Amino acid sequence: MARKKSPNLTEAELRLMDVVWERGSATVSEVTAALPTELGLAYNTVLTTMRILEDKGYLRHAKSKEGRAFVYRAVIGRQQASRNAVRYLVSRFYRNSTEALVLHLLQDEELSDKELGRIRSLIAE
């Protein structure tokens, strides 16, 4: 049985989206070249992942005016993708309670005093 497609970005998909968001648009070759070489991702792997991102609605491609390669552009921006991920996190782990997420963050012992102070000032506003 095939695995259900998640509308959220995997780690691998996020790496590719970061390249496209940073550049504005990119071909598969440009994305492949921009990725760290230690990942060892082949062109075909990047192409497959970009097609998956297109199926998910994150990317759209068009024919390049200069050559044969398709140029991919983001349909969903970084901020919207982040918002979607937080909504998923809240629904999945906090039973749709934003309050529970915020309380969890405020009780996190790894937050610095500076971070806690910034959060408190944002809440006060």
Q: Which residues are CB-contacts of 76 (< 8 A; sequence separation ≥ 6)?
A: 57, 58, 84
In a domain, 50, yes or no: yes
Q: Give me the domain span that covers residue 45.
A: 11-74
pTM for the predicted model, two decimal places: 0.82
Residue-level pLDDT at 107: 83
In a domain, 107, yes or no: yes
Residue 52 vs residues 25, 40, 59: alpha-carbon distances, Å: 17, 19, 9
In a domain, 31, yes or no: yes
Instruction: Dump pLDDT digits (tens) for 95-116.
Output: 999 999 988 887 877 888 898 8
In a domain, 81, yes or no: no
Instruction: Dump pLDDT digits (tens) for 38-85.
Output: 999 999 999 999 999 999 999 999 998 877 889 999 999 999 999 999
